[in-house]
A and B are shown apart, each in its own frame.
Chain A
Amino acid sequence: MANIMIRRGDKGEYVFYLPKRDLEDTIVSMEFDTPEKWGGEIKLNNGGAYLIEPQAAPERLPYSVRAKRLDAAE
């Protein structure tokens, strides 16, 4: 489990940030992206994948959340 921060990028896309690794990347896909259900499996531009426990969408971004690493891209 890792603490990650999700924010909006310049073009309105989700940007993933992992403070521990200083890893910043755009999110290419998010499994659930509705106000009621948000999160699930997210895929990063670099090929990595993380799992955010599906939850209600945060009221405001950036938002820090615990995520599970499914597949790191190293």
Chain B
Amino acid sequence: MGGAQDAQFAQFVDTELTRLLNLAFALTGDHHDAWDLTQETFARIGARWDRLKDSNPGGYAHTVLVRLNVDRIRRMRREALGVIVERPAPPVESVAEVDEFFLSVLATLSPSQRTAVVLRYLGDRDLQGIADEMGCSLGTAKSHLSRGTARIRERLAPAAGGEVT
């Protein structure tokens, strides 16, 4: 990759970094995990930049990040870590007060449900878009979105003093 491509990739990082970082934060609820996902996504895109630069690298990065996160959570489920690894502080900071209760509600969803609702309500994807990004069928995407949304409403309604609908 030459100087022009390096500059092009740097511009891409500058344009997409905040968007992808916030997507990762919505998916993980954690600065470290959000940064790890974001950095790994850019590393993969950057390594293939000469092939991706003329397509839709932003869309590709979005999908890569979503799938990396699903893999990450599955890996966490399977591997009971015997040691606690201290990680350096990520280059991320909060700029607004985070709704910790909402994050705790999102944390109760399955990885696929959380991904589907984040893509729907943060990414503004339709069902087909969700299915495409998650690599699943339309029916499966619909199921994840429906169950995830229902669970969020179920958990948030009592806190709001209302009925579950």
> Are these two chains actual partners, yes or no?
no
Q: Report A's interface with B, CB cutoff 8 A.
A: none
Q: Report B's interface with A, CB cutoff 8 A.
A: none
